Structure 1
């Protein structure tokens, strides 16, 4: 398969699957509110979304080197559709949590397959460009998904008319995302993964001892958790402050749009500034914007703040992907990708549960202050 063929297929599929996920994530919050969930319960469901990925990410990292990146993308896309069907039928918080967990696992499979493919098929001098394009395609889905969801679901004011209609849209998008990648069902792994006698967990532990790996993974954890929390808790914040469901959907899309813009220009930015300079400056901006979100008096101000936050949050993820790829050998990159994703999902498992408790006692605005503190921890010196 030529470079242009695999890249084009992956980026198209990634944009659509990420769109499906970003239809699902905000609508899970609204479906939970329909079922009279408390803020702490919403935080718990958001944590459950990341629970299975935390447990299985390292296993996926070993499996993708044996099964193949393309097949992982196909499996993930298929089960995003299955989770959408379950969400349409979710008439209890228990079933909603189960469906959320499955969608999180399916999303992880797509990401392990896609990121491993980019890490293995891209020439080393084009990592920034290819990871930038890959995350750009994801941000495109993040931007379009929430708007499509709110348009399809309709609005009664602060709540959608039909979350089931939005989940049906996610099912249709998953089916569409399968079209460009279905030909990969017989593709072997690009590089057969290293077989570790010591097990995935111990192999990941060895990987984390390499200089720079832990710092990159922790930074990725903080940035991805912050972006993920915004998707889950902006609907709750809007509900508390009587912002319409449509305005919150647009604001979530604005975050994705400006992240997409930052990734589009990442190649040019990387030519002028070092990765450390870019990550440091973008994280400082993210801290300031998270604090500002907590005090936004209306949807217009919130949208303006999220506009800036989206740009700053968009920089860190592709840069940490690049750093990890540069610091690892080809036969351990699948494990490195999955270790990074384990860190991301661990943060997305623990932090929403804490955020839900904070929101229950102090309101959703306090969650944004907590996110500012989380991003601040990336400046703690580490090897």
Structure 2
């Protein structure tokens, strides 16, 4: 729990740096040179970040793989889906990933509808990312007191409630406050999901389990924005928030059923 909480800080920080810096550049970079100059500057900055990442990870040493005992059969990654606990975990992970995606997708549209500038919209998204980073910094300090299924279930219920009120908020300040609360809820999830995934799968199959999880998340990131766009055209932005919130609220029951799949944390001395 502690290790995955520390690792999860990185994506949370990146979710702040990207929207916040892009919003500032769109509004202020080359404002006198033309409307598209700010967008070009934002894309240029984002293009530098993958190159910097490649430079930093060049010297990373990978640990040797865990070798499974030979039993005459070749396991397939898809076999993991036969495990009820692993299936439930993927469903929960997909629901929460969709909530993250819908927030990133809809907030710029909602902000534009409210007449907010790109800088303000980027700040709202940045506040969400900062909150996610803060909760992930705090979680390693209390990880031995937490139970994964309880944290995930609570996050899903909180997300459903926040999605219910999000489209009703009229100002940038209230949207930012709700974004912070949502960041606390969704930011707490990834370390718990990763911890449960490693407890539910054998050590020599962790790579396959991670691959299936990433495939589900990346597939969702491709498909869900298309569905979000179609749904918002039919039911509006508010209806989209409420539909996704209701779905994740109902999915909290699936997360609660994971309570018996992973062991509870040891008593704190």
The question of a shared fold, defined as TM-score above 0.5 by the shorter chain, is answered with: yes
Gaps of 5+ in 2: 259-269
Q: Which consecutive segments of 4 or more residues in structure 1 shift more than 3 A?
A: 192-195, 380-383
Verify: 1:208 aligned to 2:81, yes or no. yes
SS at match of 1:145: helix
SS at match of 1:212: helix
| Aligned residue runs from structure 1 range 208-357, under 5 A | 208-357=81-230
How far has the Cα of 1:373 moved from its partner? 2.0
Partner of 2:264: none
Partner of 2:52: 176
Verify: 1:135 aligned to 2:8, yes or no. yes
| Aligned residue runs from structure 1 range 11-30, under 5 A | none
Gaps of 5+ in 1: 1-127
Q: Distance in 1 between matches of 2:101 and 2:47?
A: 21
How far has the Cα of 1:363 moved from its partner? 2.5
**Cα offsets for 1:120-172 (capped at 9, x unmatched):** xxxxxxxx11111111121111112211112222258xx98521211100111
Q: Distance in 2 between matches of 1:204 and 1:296?
A: 44
CA contact (8 A) 2:19 2:123 kept: yes
Q: Distance in 2 between matches of 1:136 and 1:244?
A: 28
Q: Distance in 2 between matches of 1:341 and 1:271?
A: 26
Q: Distance in 2 between matches of 1:377 and 1:205?
A: 26
Partner of 1:367: 240
How far has the Cα of 1:254 moved from its partner? 0.6
SS at match of 1:180: helix
**C-alpha distance 188-255 of structure 1, shift in aligned 2 (>3 A):** closer
Verify: 1:191 aligned to 2:65, yes or no. yes
Q: Distance in 1 between matches of 2:245 and 2:67?
A: 37
CA contact (8 A) 1:260 1:314 kept: yes
Q: Which has the larger radius of gyration?
A: 2
Q: TM-score, normalised by structure 2?
A: 0.83
Q: Distance in 1 between matches of 2:195 and 2:59?
A: 27
Verify: 1:162 aligned to 2:38, yes or no. yes
Paired residue total: 249
CA contact (8 A) 1:133 1:264 kept: yes
**C-alpha distance 324-244 of structure 1, shift in aligned 2 (>3 A):** same
How far has the Cα of 1:331 moved from its partner? 2.0
CA contact (8 A) 2:148 2:195 kept: no
Q: Distance in 1 between matches of 2:128 and 2:19?
A: 11
CA contact (8 A) 1:328 1:336 kept: yes
How large is the RMSD of aligned CA atoms in angstroms?
2.5
